[in-house]
Copies of this chain bind each other. A is one copy, B any other.
Amino acid sequence: MSGKQVTGDPIRVALLGCGVVGSSVATMLTTHADDLSARVGAPLELVGVAVRRLDKDRSDLPVDPALFTTDAADLVTKADVVIEVIGGIDPARDLILSAMKHGASVVTANKALLAEDGPTLYAAADTAGVDLYYEAAVAGAIPILRPIRESLAGDDVRRVLGIVNGTTNFVLDQMDTSGAGLQEVVEEAQALGYAEADPTADVEGFDAAAKAAILASLAFHTRVSGAQVHREGITEVTAADIQAAKDMGCVVKLLAICERSGEGVEEGISVRVHPAMIPRSHPLASVRDAYNAVFVEASAAGRLMFYGKGAGGDPTASAVLGDVVAVARHKVGGGRGPGESAYADLPVRDMGQSLTRYHISIDVADLPGVLAQVATVFAAHDVSIETVRQQVTTGSRANLIVVTHQAPDRALAATVEALAELPIVDAVTSVMRVEGE
- Report which A residues bind B (CB closer than 8 A): 1-4, 24, 28, 32, 35-36, 38-39, 135, 141-143, 146-147, 150-156, 221, 267, 283, 298-309, 314-315, 317-326, 329-330, 333-336, 338, 341, 343-344, 346
Contacts and interface: CB of A to CB of B under 8 A. Distances in A.
A141 to B, nearest CB: 4
B302 A154 contact: no
Contacts of A156: 1, 32, 35
A20 to B, nearest CB: 13
Contacts of A303: 308-309
Contact of A154 (B151, B325, B330, B341): B325
A420 to B, nearest CB: 41
A141 B343 contact: no
A323 B147 CA distance: 11
Contact of A147 (B36, B147, B330): B147
B305 A306 contact: yes
B147 A143 contact: yes
A339 to B, nearest CB: 10
A59 B190 CA distance: 64
Contact of A39 (B3, B153, B301, B307): B153
A318 B300 contact: yes
Contacts of A338: 39, 326, 329
A39 B341 contact: yes
Given A32-B156, A155-B318, A155-B321, 12 more contacts: A36-B154, A38-B343, A135-B151, A143-B146, A143-B147, A150-B326, A155-B322, A300-B321, A301-B315, A303-B309, A305-B308, A326-B338
A35 B322 CA distance: 28
A125 B308 CA distance: 34
Contacts of A267: 2
A315 B307 CA distance: 20
A224 to B, nearest CB: 16
A152 to B, nearest CB: 6
A170 B20 CA distance: 44
A115 B394 CA distance: 70
Contacts of A321: 153-155, 300
A154 B300 contact: no
A243 B336 CA distance: 54
5 contacts: A36-B154, A39-B153, A301-B309, A302-B309, A305-B306
Contacts of A304: 141-143, 306-308
A221 B24 CA distance: 23
From A151, A329, A344, residue with most partner B Cβ within 10 Å: A151
B24 A153 contact: no
B302 A4 contact: no
Given A304-B143, A304-B308, A335-B336, A318 B341 contact: no
B307 A305 contact: yes
A146 B135 CA distance: 13
Given A141-B302, A338-B329, A28 B154 contact: yes
A328 to B, nearest CB: 10
Contacts of A152: 143, 318, 322
Nearest to A44: B154
A283 B283 CA distance: 10
A341 B4 CA distance: 12
Contact of A326 (B2, B135, B153, B305): B153
Given A39-B341, A307-B305, A315 B300 contact: yes
A276 to B, nearest CB: 21
A89 to B, nearest CB: 26
Contacts of A306: 304-307
A142 to B, nearest CB: 6
A283 B307 contact: yes
A61 to B, nearest CB: 15
A29 to B, nearest CB: 9
B146 A322 contact: no
A154 to B, nearest CB: 2
